[in-house]
Structure 1
């Protein structure tokens, strides 16, 4: 029996998911929560096998923050992110936060069941379009000019890159490094030029591949 905790700010969505999942005799919804903080508390108390976590919850703690905090407190927990966003940045941040998988809310019911079964076994799960995108990006590699462009970065630029990849905003980076926001923006501009990257998702991908977040792909 796979014990599941549902965390979503829409009661109708939770109700629909619960009805769906409980048609599977091997799945049991043991609890529900309407935002991240409540989800963390219930996960700690109920100890489910899988937490199905909505990404966007405007009232209370969002899914990404709740995932990261819950994984710190319960490293063994399996979290499946449920999202409307088919976007690289959200995908990388979910993985970075410790999610075991990510599935679109528009996915067919049988795909959701399969995703839950996969993460419950300790496997990773990504929706098909995300898997293809990651494979394409990995095969294309980080843009390089024949040498390791990472070595072209200053120590400060490397610090800024790591914090950007961890999801910090420019103001938060400035506070952590005790520099001005303008200086952060300058470092960001220079490191993107050196790495020949143009967007934040590309920076996150680069940092993951370099192992700057503690893992690589």
Structure 2
């Protein structure tokens, strides 16, 4: 039985790069070029019109995220289409986002012709044949997300161990009030505030207020607390 012909749509705003891919596809009788779009919007329209098997999708089209948006829209309505992302400069978060949206593969534009043809065929079969550097980026991003999740859970747990007074002091510290200002606002002596801050640092296992504030801000905890104020099961003094 002969191999099925794979219909390929190219979504690329650079005419020279697009023509290179057309030429690469034309060298393989199993691959059929069915059209070219120069924007994410046009790519979505042509995908609906031609119903290609595989789309070679540039990430940066009319803007830096246009390819990702088009990928999301296409797969929402045509989930059987396989999408191979194209880029000249990949970052860990963009690579991860593309696969999170449902892209099957990810290619650097300067890869050899045979690797491009192989990637299209693998995508058609649903095989994510990743280049080593792309696989590494995905691994690093999974590790970063896992680390952040662990850190977020740990710090939320610590927050639930703070007394209402300690949480109020921490909130003021996160708002960049000085210790003198906090003493005046809360009508307490410096020695009392010092003791409260010492207790906070001990629970977070940090040696300075700056460390605690930096960690909580990196995890966007102040914003989360602002949205869900009063929802934490705080201890009583």
TM range (shorter): 0.5 to 0.7
Per mean C-alpha deviation after superposition, the further-off stretch among 57-66 and 29-38 is 57-66
One of 7, 14, 18 as aligned partner of 1:14? 18
RMSD: 3.3
1:102 aligns with 2:106: yes
With the length of structure 1 as denominator, give the TM-score of the two structures: 0.65
Residue equivalent to 1:80: 84
Q: Secondary structure at the match of 2:29?
A: coil
Residue equivalent to 2:153: 151
Going from structure 1 to structure 2, the CA distance change for 1:135 and 1:30 (only over 3 Å counts) comes to same
Deviations 1:102-140 (A, max 9, x none): 100111111111111111101223222111343466579
- The whole-number CA distance in structure 2 between the counterparts of 1:87 and 1:140 is 13
1:132 aligns with 2:120: no
- The whole-number CA distance in structure 1 between the counterparts of 2:38 and 2:144 is 40
| Contact kept? 1:149, 1:194, Cα under 8 Å | no
With the length of structure 2 as denominator, give the TM-score of the two structures: 0.60
Q: Secondary structure at the match of 1:124?
A: coil
Corresponding residue pairs, total: 163
Deviation at 1:30, TM superposition (A): 0.8
Task: Give runs of ≥4 in structure 1 deviating > 6 Å.
Answer: none
- The whole-number CA distance in structure 1 between the counterparts of 2:45 and 2:144 is 42
One of 48, 56, 59 as aligned partner of 1:44? 48
One of 43, 57, 68 as aligned partner of 1:53? 57
- Which 5+ residue runs of structure 2 have no aligned equivalent? 157-174, 176-212, 222-237
